[in-house]
Amino acid sequence: MSSKLHNLQIDSTRLWNSIMEMAKIGPGVAGGNNRQALTDVDSEGRHLFQRWCEEEGLTVDVDQMGNMFATRKGSDPEALPVYVGSHLDTQPTGGKYDGVLGVLGALEIIRTLNEMNIQTKHPIIVTNWTNEEGTRFAPPMLASGVFAGIHDLEWAYNRVDANGKKFGDELQRIGWQGDETVGARKMHAFFELHIEQGPILEAEEKDIGVVTFGQGLSWTQITIEGKESHTGSTPMPMRRNAGLGMAKILDLVDTIAWSHKPDAVGAAGQIDVFPNSRNVIPGKVIFTVDFRSPELAVIEDMEARLREGSESICKELGLEVTFEKIGGFDPVKFDDNCIQAVRNAVKILGYSSRDIISGAGHDACWVNQVTPTAMIMCPCVDGLSHNEAEEISVEWANKGTNTLLLAVLEIAQIVN
């Protein structure tokens, strides 16, 4: 990389102002955001992002899954593009930075290159992936999964939310169903900047997390059926309490995760109880168990023990149990060359860093299967994410995006 670029910096105030402006769309109730995928506010956020991209001279294209691609041309028309981005959708009680930093940090790179009149050999394409969170339409990283050939397009279109609305119908309703074939694009590389969503970087006072691996993930939806009956008049021996079965299984999930410490984790974060009445014994429960580990063998062991143990628990309680694998991916090893570009950027900038394993799923985990990929992480306060209290500092955002800028430039190749 040219020595004249060693001190190249993004405009941290401009980046921060963009993040705060996006946060005005789909505000939460406690300072964060509720901008779930394929809602009207998701559409509004997309329009703002599109306007900002077009103001920078970028051409914005949209594929059949609503993925947005904003292109800055390279000097070589034959060179494959370097993609960089993340997602703009949030959890129902999400923060202002999860995903958004990666998309608007990528846009800030373009603004900086335009401002400095820097040309690259490879095109650079700022990307907003659809439905990364998976909170409304499971599984997470749905659109990048279709892009990478993991999921079928029609299968994705037929995913339904809690109100029975289909993904494909909602995508069309908000006006973001493009004509471009999903996955037809060829990539030179992909970079994603993200907040850590964990406490390690802040606790160790590190500026940058160089992501080497991504944890594998397994989502198993469990349905337990018993019999609804009055809580006061049903004798204990005659109850078929689906809620009790779930409680015992949740304890089992915790035990299984602890048996693979320190890297494995497990919990259930989405639970529906029917009829959910104070004086009715639950006749049905549906909940999703989330297991994660950087080792595939560990994930497979946890899944097997969950099924075996759950069946045993429900048999003993006279309950019916069924399982559905609704999401998951194998552990990810990111590309050595892209990782090295991140390391080089950190060294040039003089930032502190450490290698880190991503404990959360990201679009980069799927994109990694079709092109060389790397991730960069910055700290977040107390490791808190998927929470309206999620917070980062201007300095952390600045350093993360500066690192992203130099890493992308190394791979995209400066020509002037």
Q: Note the Cα 409 to chain centre separation in Å.
A: 24
Residue 93's Cβ-count burial label (10 Å; 0-12, 13-18, 19+) is: middle
- Report the DSSP beta bridge partners of residue 274: 284
What interhelical angle do 100-116 and 40-55 show, nearest 10? 10
Instruction: Give me the mean pLDDT over the 89-108 stretch.
Output: 98
Q: Is the pLDDT of residue 328 over 90?
A: no
Helix, strand or coil, per DSSP, at residue 77? coil
Confidence of residue 5 (pLDDT cuts 50, 70, 90): low
Report the chain's mean pLDDT, rounded to a whole number: 96
Query: What is the distance between the terminal CA atoms of the chain, rounded to a whole angstrom?
Result: 11
* DSSP labels, 170-207: HHHHTT---SBPTT----SEEEEEEE-SSSHHHHTT-S
Q: Is 362 exposed, middle or buried (0-12, 13-18, 19+ CB in 10 A)?
A: buried
Q: Return the pLDDT at 168.
A: 98
Per-residue pLDDT, 359: 85
What pLDDT band is residue 120 in, cutting at 50, 70 and 90?
very high
For residue 207, how many other CB atoms are within 10 A of its CB? 21
Rounded Cα distance, 144 and 140, in Å: 9
Which pLDDT band, with edges at 50, 70 and 90, does 157 fall under? very high
- Strand bridging mode 189-195 / 82-86: parallel
Residue 365 reports pLDDT greater than 60? yes
Q: Which residues of 256-279 are buried (b: 16+ CB within 10 A; e: fewer)?
A: bbeebeeebbbebeeeebeeeeee
pLDDT at 279 over 60: yes
Count CA within 13 A, CB hemisphere, residue 390.
27
Predicted confidence band of residue 262 (pLDDT cuts 50, 70, 90): confident
Q: Are 283 and 204 within 8 A, CB to CB?
A: no
What local confidence, expressed as pLDDT, does residue 263 receive?
Answer: 86
Contact 19, 97 (CB under 8 A): yes
Q: What is the dihedral of CA 161, 163, 169, 173, to 10 degrees?
A: -110
Closest CA to 383 of 360, 363, 401, 366: 360
Quote the CA–CA distance of 265 and 276 in Å, as a whole number: 28
Residue type, 237: P
Give the confidence band of 3 by pLDDT, cuts at 50, 70, 90: low
Beta bridge partners of 61: 69
Region 149-174 average pLDDT? 98
List pLDDT tens digits, range 377-386.
999 999 999 9
For residue range 167-188, list pLDDT tens digits in order: 999 999 999 999 999 999 999 9
Q: Give residue 196's pLDDT band: very low, low, confident or very high (50, 70, 90).
A: very high
Spatial separation of the C-alpha atoms in residues 291 and 240, rounded to whole Å: 27
Handedness of CA 276, 282, 284, 286 (dihedral sign): positive
Q: What pLDDT, on a 0 to 100 scale, did the predictor assign at position 269?
A: 85
For range 287-308, the mean pLDDT: 96
59 in Cβ contact with 71 (< 8 Å)? yes
The pLDDT value recorded for residue 101 is 98
Whether residue 129 contacts residue 67, with contact meaning beta carbons closer than 8 Å, is answered with yes
Look at residue 333 in the predicted model and tell me its pLDDT. Answer: 93
- Of all residues in the chain, what percent are helix, strand and coil, respectively (each to 5)? 35, 25, 40
Band of pLDDT at residue 4, cut at 50, 70 and 90: low
> Residue 238's pLDDT band (boundaries 50, 70, 90)?
very high
pLDDT higher than 90, residue 219: yes
Task: Using alpha carbons, select from 415, 197, 176, 222 the residue that is nearest to residue 314.
Answer: 222
Percent of the chain with pLDDT over 70: 99
* Neighbouring-strand partners of residue 270: 288
**pLDDT value of residue 141:** 95
Paired strand residues for 120: 414
Whether residue 42 has pLDDT greater than 60:
yes
Rg (alpha carbons) of the chain, rounded to whole number: 23
Give the pLDDT score at 330: 87
How far apart (Å, rounded) are the C-alpha atoms in residues 152 and 56?
Answer: 34
Q: What Cα–Cα distance (Å) separates residue 357 from each residue in 207, 210, 324, 365?
A: 15, 8, 27, 12
| pLDDT surpasses 90 at 360 | no
Which residues make beta-bridge pairs with 64? Answer: none
Binned at pLDDT 50, 70 and 90, residue 332 comes out as: very high
